[in-house]
Amino acid sequence: MSSLWPRGLGSYLVRHPSSAWTLARAGWTLRASSWWRHPPFLPLPDAAYWEFRLFTYGGAGATMSPAAMVDAAHWSLRQRQGG
């Protein structure tokens, strides 16, 4: 699950603070069901689902850059709005 927070994401968000809201909105849609019932009691994606998404992004062991993560979040939110 360490790939949920890629290297450099914190500094990227300091430079682009509006991206934090985009990531939060997109991340909320990926949260595991009944996330409040299991530690760490955070609305995080299911580990198996997140690994699947990274695999479809770039193969086994893939990681996303902060910019790619924000681009994917923008795309995901646009798809939900039908645009």
pLDDT at 82: 66
**pLDDT reading at 16 higher than 90:** yes
pLDDT at 47: 81
CA gap 4, 23 in Å, rounded: 11
Range(s) of the domain holding residue 25: 2-81
Number of helices followed by number of strands (H, E) in the chain? 4, 0
Provide the pLDDT confidence category of residue 3 given band limits of 50, 70 and 90: low
pLDDT digits (tens, 9 = 90+) for 19-74: 999 999 988 888 888 989 988 888 888 888 888 888 888 877 777 889 988 998 88
pTM: 0.71
Q: How many domains does one find in the chain?
A: 1
